[in-house]
Amino acid sequence: MDYCLTTAALCKQYKNFKALNGLSMHVPKGSIYGLVGRNGAGKTTLIRLISGIQEPTSGEYTLYGVKNTDRAIYKVRRRIGAVVETPAIYSNMTAEENLKIQYQILGIPNYDGIEDLLQLVDLADCGKKKTKDFSLGMRQRLGIAVALCGSPDFLVLDEPVNGLDPQGIIAIRELILRLNKEKQITILISSHILDELAKLATYYGFVDGGTIVKEISDTELNAACRKCVRLSVTNTKALCRVLDHMGIEYNIISDTDADIYGEISVTHLAMALAQENCEIKSMQEHDESLENYYMNLVGGEKNA
């Protein structure tokens, strides 16, 4: 797999606090990578490091094959656009003026792309309205437009829907999907709003205590979180024979437990198992959300 970002044993120490503790992750090129973690887990610190705002205490990261210790990293970082914590915009300027300032900072010789950027983030009709009068959702979209100046192919967003109303969340979600699918931009999103992240991400990294505890694709996660019936029986070998004969999809969990997918007739299943001298000990529906998956992964009690 081709990665645009990898980190290896990345650490960041602030006096007596270790914000990152040996974090290793892999962001596939072309993905929407959801960085999942509670507040204080290390998400923003990681983003600040890869954006060049801060330096790691130890460990390393690689952007498009270039290590952070290589002099070429400064050039490679121009391929990144980032919105870290709050959008970097000037409140007494219009949206267009904010983009012109960013173009000047980046040394872009003309303003030809600004109109397209404003249309992309649905701010083309704001005219002379100052950004101090923008809604939070409008400011977030403008922050993304500023990050897109210079045509980056890797976009990093820190809690992009935090504090937005439902309409603002939908607008940001549709923008992110459009950037990924139409512009082929790899996107790293840090968020603790897991239900929304589940509508976007194609790959996940679960972070806790400054380290990645699990990386998983959306396909693998959906399989793990599929609605099923968790069945406990006296003989899983007999259960396999019966389910294979019935053409029912299943997954063996242990010597006694299995997950069964799809609709089943409990009566027919029980009768077929009885003929195999197998008894059903318990049966319950099992449907795990992204939030439950995360809490089970890192331990719900300490993160409650």
Round the average pLDDT of the chain to a whole number and report it. Answer: 91
242 shares a domain with 117? no
pLDDT exceeds cutoff 70 at 11: yes
**Same domain, yes or no, for 207 and 96?**
yes
Residues 33 and 122 in one domain: yes
Is there a single domain that holds both residue 131 and residue 246? no
Range(s) of the domain holding residue 265:
226-287
| 304 has pLDDT over 50 | no
When pLDDT is averaged across residues 177-182 and rounded to a whole number, the result is: 95
pLDDT tens per residue across span 45-66: 999 999 999 999 999 999 999 9
CA dihedral 155, 158, 159, 160 (to 10 degrees): -40
Average pLDDT over residues 226-247: 91
Owner of token pair 């529906």 = 285
User: How many domains does the chain fold into?
Assistant: 2
> Each residue of 69-123: pLDDT tens digit?
999 999 999 999 999 888 889 999 999 999 999 999 999 999 999 999 999 999 9
303 occurs within a structural domain: no
* Whether residues 182 and 232 fall in one domain: no
Q: Is the pLDDT of residue 253 over 70?
A: yes
* Mean pLDDT, rounded, for 249-261: 90
Q: Looking at residue 201, what is its pLDDT?
A: 95
Q: Which residue is associated with the tokens 């923003």?
A: 44
Q: Do residues 131 and 15 share a domain?
A: yes
User: Looking at the structure, do residues 216 and 236 belong to the same domain, yes or no?
Assistant: no
7 domain-assigned: yes
- In this structure, what CATH number is given to the domain that contains residue 53? 3.40.50.300
**Pair 96, 239 in one domain:** no
Longest Cα–Cα distance in the chain: 79
Count of CB atoms situated within 10 Å of the CB of 207: 26
One domain for residues 179 and 281: no
Q: Please indicate whether residue 241 or residue 192 has the higher confidence score (pLDDT).
A: 241
Question: For position 276, which CATH number holds?
Answer: 3.30.70.100
